[in-house]
Amino acid sequence: MSHNLQGKTVIVTGASKGIGAATARAMVDAGAKVIAHYGGDRAGAESALADAKPDQAHLVQADFSDMHQVERFWSEAIEIAGKIDVLVNNAGIMRQSGGIADPIEQWDKVWQEAMAVNVHAPARLMRFAVQSWLDAGCGGAVIGIGSWVSTRGSSNPGAIAYAASKAAIAAATKTVARNHAADGILAYVIAPGVVRTRMSEESAARTGGEAAVTATLPMGEWVPPEEIADLAVYLAHGRARHLTGSTIDINGAAYIR
């Protein structure tokens, strides 16, 4: 998809690897100014933005388990760009343990972390973004990178908190779409299936191995992160107004609903 995003400023969270890195790269290629969030892997985020023109891309670090750092991240983004046009809520965490059979201490730790990073942090950023658009009397777009596990559950028992957290932030994103469509504020959820990311590879290792997971996919292949990124660029353009509120599945026909 070829879309010109010049003049737009886009936040991409979790831009160090996987879907986030591919999305940050695609936004740069489309001409957007990109505020790229990273947690600990600065080198990964720098690599994703390697083709950016001078002053086109900016890196901002934050630990999204800490709401004070989330707020500081937003303030720095505004200081850099002045305004944000598109928020891509991609950053997330999925621990491979913390299921029902694990010790209660591990269960509690994983649930607390998943809710902080996967729900509270993106919801806080979405709140800041929507309020800024309402205050300015202008439109904007939130693109949430969700997961098919929010509707089908996870085959990894340790990912129960992850599945629940993805469902929670998806519902919050849809609520923004429903209540602010008349304000020109658009909100979408992209729900990928098995994407070629380190997170998916680690999950596959706990659910029979990569070959076993691939055998369940009609196309016999994992979704490339670049396909998610291309869709995010299309949605960021703002032409797909009547898609607002939608959950868009990208899973190669592995889950049809």
* 168-210 residue pLDDT tens: 999 999 999 999 999 999 999 999 998 877 777 777 767 778 8
Q: What is the pTM of this model?
A: 0.93
The single residue listed with the structure tokens 């469902």 is 167
Q: Say how far apart CA 257 and CA 238 lie, in whole Å.
A: 26
Architecture of domain 9-250: 3-Layer(aba) Sandwich (3.40)
Handedness of CA 215, 216, 219, 222 (dihedral sign): negative
Catalytic residues: 162
Q: Say how far apart CA 52 and CA 50 lie, in whole Å.
A: 6
Sheet holding 86-89, edge to edge: 57-61, 33-38, 9-12, 86-89, 140-145, 185-192, 247-250
pLDDT digits (tens, 9 = 90+) for 3-16: 699 999 999 999 99
> Quick one: pLDDT band at residue 155, thresholds 50, 70, 90?
confident
Q: Say how far apart CA 208 and CA 135 lie, in whole Å.
A: 50
- Look at residue 35 and give its three-state secondary structure: strand
What is the domain partition of the chain in residue ranges? 9-250
- Look at residue 161 and give its three-state secondary structure: helix
Rounded mean pLDDT of 41-46? 96
